[in-house]
């Protein structure tokens, strides 16, 4: 394939130009050329076209080689300029070469043209490569310098042979509170920035051997003598014909202080958690013991009351029989309270045995028991089918008994009560719910719902001890879930609950097919 060559010929002889072009064509060059013989024509050619090389005769009627060289160096100083002439004064040739011409060839030596062109083109390409490399190197140095100057970590640059500091970035000087003059030119271990000078010398020796060192916690000393903690990373790398060391230092003083505070807080919280756990265990043991030990005297009181009412039915006045009945009722109420306390205590101490539980079946069973207790009441139950969860079947039975029992109790004043169980989205989470159209409650007091012995009904209209919902909350929390109550006074209440994040609620046909209607007409 022919080699392309853009050639500007400065000559007044067309025959000489054609001879040169013929020589180039024979040597595989496809030339694009222009012949000029005046200053104006040469200037116009250089300003409007791009050329690979210039050949110029030394003397022409209206132009000369010195003038052509001057124009070439003015407009394109990198363009090779070769003098091609029949005869030329040797001193003039030397002068032109000193002025920037690359070669001098006599026209009778046409064989030298091709080697000269190839040599000059290689030199031009080499110059271009050097310029590109220099440009790339300069850009790289600018980028490095920008990173070096703006890095938040402190950076030191050292001569690997002497250990002397050659550069330091602003972050390091700010960290240490010193100027570059106090660091640059000094050996690393003589700067007084290391709290342990001997350790810094030892680290430098280790770095020389290994080429890399890292310390997760090293102490430095500021100009004012304050100690700071840093992460220290250093490595050796070559630059030109020498080796340099770069040391990166990240201030971790605040982080270490925060970690220390966190450890102190963790220790305190662990101690407090242990104290609370011990206190809860003692409280539960006390609750269980007291509740259990109260049963015996209450049983005696109840027995004697029953005996007195039986034996003295015809002796005592109705007024005194009423007193005995009040005592007996109080004993029965106390027994129910003890049962509730025992349940609460047992729930807190119970170990979970998880399995797949059909809450729908549990809800239906509880509803059936409630209907048997008060068959005269008109209550409609709506229970979704096949609500499946994973949990402790016995404890979840307690949850459903308490939630349905609550709904049953607080709908007792309704001519037609409605109690519903199902699954819904609540705050982006799938949750079970128990809903009723009973007395409801004021949401301003909702935070008291699950506290032990806290009851929102202070009128005495509905019986209870304020333990049932507290028991439910403990069971739900032991399963890793949550429970909340929502309601409106006079319009009913809804309790939403989940168990844990791994629960799978499988609700099948929760529409008309999933409704169980139980009503007393």
Say which CATH number the domain at 226 has.
Answer: 3.30.450.20
Quote the CA–CA distance of 84 and 89 in Å, as a whole number: 13
Does one domain contain both 324 and 192? Answer: no
Does one domain contain both 328 and 389? Answer: no
User: At what angle are helices 393-410 and 468-478 packed, to 10 degrees?
Assistant: 150
35 inside domain: yes
- % of the chain surpassing 90 pLDDT: 18
521 inside domain: no
Does one domain contain both 490 and 476? Answer: yes
519 inside domain: no
Does one domain contain both 313 and 283? Answer: yes
Phi, psi angles (nearest 5°) of residue 493: -145, 155
Mean pLDDT of the chain: 82
**How many residues does the structure list for the chain?**
521
364 Cβ contact list (under 8 Å, min separation 6):
381, 383, 516
Tokens representing 38? 């005046």
Quote the CA–CA distance of 473 and 468 in Å, as a whole number: 9
The residue behind tokens 């029992």 is 405
Does one domain contain both 156 and 214? Answer: yes
Select the more confidently predicted residue: 294 or 28: 28
pLDDT of residue 508: 37
Q: In Å, what is the CA distance from 190 to each residue of 157, 196, 202, 228, 245?
A: 15, 11, 13, 18, 16
pLDDT band at 286 (very low <50, low <70, confident <90, very high): low
Helix (H, G, I), strand (E, B) or coil at 93: helix
- Residue 286: CATH number of its domain: 1.10.287
487, 441 Cβ separation under 8 angstroms: yes
Tokens representing 19? 């001879």
DSSP state for residue 491 in the 8-state scheme: T
Task: Give whichever of 132-146, 272-286, 365-379 has the largest mean pLDDT.
Answer: 365-379
Quote the CA–CA distance of 303 and 328 in Å, as a whole number: 9
pLDDT of 511 strictly over 80: no
pLDDT of residue 362: 92
Rounded average pLDDT over 18-27? 88
Tokens representing 54? 């210039």
* Number of folded domains that form the chain: 4
Quote the CA–CA distance of 505 and 293 in Å, as a whole number: 42
pLDDT tens across 417-472, in order? 999 999 998 888 889 999 999 888 877 777 777 776 555 555 556 665 567 788 88
Among 35-49, 103-117, 167-181, 325-339, the minimum mean pLDDT is found in 325-339
Answer with the one of 346, 381, 396 that is the final residue of a domain: 346
Helix (H, G, I), strand (E, B) or coil at 154: strand
Read off the pTM.
0.42
Does one domain contain both 203 and 190? Answer: yes
Evaluate the CA torsion angle 335, 341, 342, 344 in order and state its sign.
Answer: positive
Helix (H, G, I), strand (E, B) or coil at 164: strand
Please spell the DSSP secondary structure of 380-398, one letter per residue. Answer: EEEE-S--EEEEEHHHHHH
CB atoms within 10 A of CB 54: 26
pLDDT of 107 strictly over 50: yes
pLDDT tens across 79-100, in order? 999 998 877 777 777 888 888 8
Tokens representing 521? 């007409």
Does one domain contain both 239 and 176? Answer: yes
User: At what angle are helices 14-26 and 113-150 packed, to 10 degrees?
Assistant: 70
Tokens representing 391? 């949990």
104 inside domain: yes
Does one domain contain both 394 and 430? Answer: yes
Quote the CA–CA distance of 464 and 337 in Å, as a whole number: 9
454 inside domain: yes
146 inside domain: no
Residue 506, beta-bridge partner list: none
Residue 429, beta-bridge partner list: 426
pLDDT of 30 strictly over 50: yes
Nearest partner of 167 among 102, 237, 245, 228, judged by Cα: 245
pLDDT of residue 74: 92
Answer with the one of 297, 322, 346 that is the final residue of a domain: 346
pLDDT of 509 strictly over 50: no
pLDDT band at 337 (very low <50, low <70, confident <90, very high): low
Answer with the one of 251, 282, 301 that is the final residue of a domain: 251
pLDDT of residue 434: 94
Select the more confidently predicted residue: 75 or 218: 75
Does one domain contain both 310 and 422? Answer: no
- Residue 29: CATH number of its domain: 3.40.50.2300
- Please state whether 240 falls in left (phi above 0), alpha (psi between -120 and 50) or beta: left
Does one domain contain both 158 and 289? Answer: no
Helix (H, G, I), strand (E, B) or coil at 48: helix
Select the more confidently predicted residue: 351 or 486: 486
pLDDT of residue 341: 61
Does one domain contain both 281 and 359? Answer: no
Phi, psi angles (nearest 5°) of residue 432: -80, 155
Q: Note down the domain range covering 472.
A: 351-514
Quote the CA–CA distance of 519 and 371 in Å, as a whole number: 9
Quote the CA–CA distance of 467 and 398 in Å, as a whole number: 12
308 inside domain: yes
108 inside domain: yes
Interior/surface letters 170-204, b for 16+ CB within 10 angstroms, e for the rest: ebbbebbebeeebbeeeebbebbbbeeeeebbebb
Phi, psi angles (nearest 5°) of residue 472: -60, -45
Which value, in Å, is the radius of gyration of the alpha carbons in the chain? Answer: 50
pLDDT band at 2 (very low <50, low <70, confident <90, very high): low
484 Cβ contact list (under 8 Å, min separation 6):
446, 495, 496, 497
The residue behind tokens 């029989």 is 321
Q: How far apart are the first and last CA of the chain?
A: 108
pLDDT tens across 119-169, in order? 988 998 888 888 888 888 878 778 877 888 888 899 988 888 888 888 998
Do β-strands 429-436 and 417-426 pair in parallel, antiparallel, or remain unpaired?
antiparallel
402, 468 Cβ separation under 8 angstroms: yes
Does one domain contain both 401 and 501? Answer: yes
Residue 508: CA atoms inside 13 Å, Cβ hemisphere, count? 7
Nearest partner of 380 among 517, 199, 211, judged by Cα: 517
């Amino acid at each position: 394939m022919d080699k392309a060559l853009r050639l500007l010929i400065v000559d007044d002889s067309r025959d000489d130009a054609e001879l040169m072009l013929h020589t180039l064509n024979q040597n595989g060059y496809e030339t694009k050329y222009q012949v000029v013989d005046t200053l104006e024509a040469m200037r116009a050619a250089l300003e409007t076209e791009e050329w690979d090389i210039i050949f110029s005769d030394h003397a022409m009627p209206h132009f000369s080689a010195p003038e052509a060289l001057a124009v070439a160096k003015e407009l394109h100083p990198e363009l090779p300029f070769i003098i091609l002439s029949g005869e030329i004064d040797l001193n003039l040739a030397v002068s032109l070469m000193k002025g920037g011409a690359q070669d001098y060839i006599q026209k009778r030596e046409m064989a030298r043209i091709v080697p000269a062109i190839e040599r000059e083109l290689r030199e031009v390409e080499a110059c271009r490569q050097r310029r590109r490399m220099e440009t790339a190197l300069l850009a790289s140095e600018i980028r490095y310098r920008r990173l070096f100057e703006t890095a938040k970590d402190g950076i030191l640059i050292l001569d690997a042979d002497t250990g002397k500091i050659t550069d330091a970035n602003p972050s390091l000087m700010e960290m240490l509170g010193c100027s570059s003059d106090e660091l640059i030119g000094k050996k690393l271990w003589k700067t007084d920035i290391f709290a342990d000078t001997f350790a810094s010398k030892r680290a430098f020796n280790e770095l020389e051997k290994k080429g890399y060192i890292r310390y997760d916690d090293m102490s430095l000393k500021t100009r004012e003598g304050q100690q700071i903690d840093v992460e220290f990373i250093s490595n050796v790398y070559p630059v030109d014909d020498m080796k340099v060391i770069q040391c990166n230092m990240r201030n971790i003083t605040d982080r270490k202080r925060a970690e220390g505070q966190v450890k102190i807080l963790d220790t305190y919280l662990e101690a407090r958690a242990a104290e609370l756990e011990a206190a809860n265990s003692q409280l539960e043991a006390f609750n269980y013991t007291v509740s259990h030990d109260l049963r015996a005297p209450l049983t005696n009181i109840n027995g004697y009351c029953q005996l007195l009412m039986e034996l003295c039915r015809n002796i005592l006045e109705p007024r005194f029989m009423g007193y005995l009945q009040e005592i007996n009722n109080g004993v029965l109420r106390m027994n129910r309270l003890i049962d509730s306390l025992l349940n609460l205590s047992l729930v807190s101490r119970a170990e979970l045995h998880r399995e797949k539980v059909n809450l729908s079946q549990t809800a239906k069973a509880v509803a059936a028991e409630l209907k048997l207790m008060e068959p005269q009441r008109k209550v409609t139950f709506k229970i979704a089918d096949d609500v499946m969860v994973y949990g402790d079947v016995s404890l979840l039975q307690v949850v459903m008994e308490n939630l349905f029992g609550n709904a049953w109790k607080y709908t007792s004043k309704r001519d037609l009560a409605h109690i519903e169980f199902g699954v819904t989205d609540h705050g982006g989470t799938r949750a079970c719910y128990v809903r009723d159209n009973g007395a409801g409650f004021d949401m301003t007091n909702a935070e008291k719902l699950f506290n032990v012995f806290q009851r929102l009904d202070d009128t005495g209209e509905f019986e209870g001890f304020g333990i049932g919902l507290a028991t439910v909350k403990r069971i739900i929390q032991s399963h890793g879930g949550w429970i909340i109550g929502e309601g409106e006074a006079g319009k009913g209440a809804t309790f939403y609950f989940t168990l844990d994040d791994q629960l799978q609620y499988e609700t099948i046909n929760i529409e008309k097919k999933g409704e169980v209607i139980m009503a007393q007409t």
